[in-house]
Amino acid sequence: MGPVMLDVHGTSLSQEDKEILQHPLVGGLIFFTRNYQSPEQIADLSQQIRIAAKKPILIAVDHEGGRVQRFRDGFSLLPAMGKLWKMSEQNLTLAKELAKQSAILMALEVQAVGIDISFAPVLDINNISDVIGDRGFHQQPDHVTELAEAFIDGLHQVGMKATGKHFPGHGSVKADSHIDLPIDTRSKADIFQQDLVPFQQLISRGKVDALMPAHVIFPDVDSQAVGFSHYWLQNILRDQLGFNGVIFSDDLSMQGAASVGGYIERAEAAQAAGCDMLLLCNNRDGCVDVLDNANISISSVGAQRLNMLLTKADSKWSSLKNNSTWQHASQSLNKYR
């Protein structure tokens, strides 16, 4: 499986899309709201992508709940994970159950339209970041761990792998890495004792299948943004924390990635730092430039890791609402809205 995850512009495939999907370096595709019209249409598009690629391809979406939910009309509307604590009236046991049922509902629906993974859960602290905010489960790291673990257990129950983001934590810096390069000037000790805690705890429990690093610079740790930092991804994440799963780059078109240069430089730097899959979104010319000219390669180890994320689920949207697990998850959440 190749190391590039890209996007397509519309609700069906163009001839250029079909040709690009067959490129040896392309191993994944991510959906956005613009790709969606209905559950039946997105299921057909997923199938057409797999046919066009003529190889295994990982299909993903950001479908966390709250304001980050790409498919709405026809799908269950999921609460933001930061709302679960209030919905449960600060009852941790109930909040964990709501997190688990949210994950089950999301995963069953996403898988039923041919998608392998949703990039979730968010493990960032719900602190001062506008772009994170109520996407994070809680302000307390230990509560984030407990609620995220319940969410992950829900994913795993129905066959979806979990992607934690944004390592080692985006919640304690104000700037939005979509439009800026956030710099978190706290000490290494503060970061490790606060934001890193949910990542460390969930990795040690063997819960996290994949991680996505933040486009954030922590100067007291390294001068490079995390997704381009060999020190963060290899010395800390792989060696110190013992993480053996997939590392996705965050979208390399974001302004937070611009510090290392153009698209080619970003892709090369992210792979050199240790990212197994590079997200190249919302810039077709830049993506084609990377595929044609970047010095990146297919890693056998990375490909093995990525293959583990492909779903084994074989459900269909037409029969989903007869599924007792889906019914229970839907009823559980509706009861507390």
Cβ-based neighbours of 262, under 8 Å, separated by 6 or more:
286, 289
Catalytic residue list contains 9: no
What letter would DSSP give residue 277? B
Nearest CA to 27 out of 8, 61, 55, 46 is that of 55
Q: Is residue 44 annotated as a catalytic residue, yes or no?
A: no
Question: 278 — phi, psi (to 5°)?
Answer: -110, 120
Q: Which of 142, 178, 220, 239 is catalytic?
A: 178
Edge-to-edge strand ranges of the sheet holding 278-279 = 117-118, 58-61, 26-31, 4-6, 278-279
* Residue 6 bridge partners (DSSP): 29
Strands 278-279 and 4-6: parallel
The CA-CA-CA angle for residues 75, 122, 232, to 5°, reads 145
Instruction: Report the C-alpha gap between 239 and 217 in whole angstroms.
Output: 20
Within 170-253, residue ranges assigned H as helices are 188-193, 197-204, 230
328 is an annotated ligand-binding site residue = no
Q: Is 165 labeled as ligand-binding?
A: yes
Q: Which of 163, 133, 17 is nearest to 66 (CA)?
A: 133
C-alpha angle 222-260-272 in degrees, rounded to nearest 5: 70
Report whether 316 belongs to an annotated binding site: no
Dist. CA 28–CA 21, nearest whole Å: 8
Annotated binding residue 83: no
CA distance 168 to 201: 12
Q: What is the Cα–Cα distance from 174 to 335, expressed in whole angstroms?
A: 34
Q: Is 153 annotated as a binding residue?
A: no
Alpha-carbon distance of 99 to 12, in angstroms, equals 33
**Which of the residues 7, 184, 195, 250 is marked catalytic?**
250
Binding residue numbers for substrate: 62, 70, 135, 165-166
Active site residues: 178, 250
Binding residue numbers: 62, 70, 135, 165-166
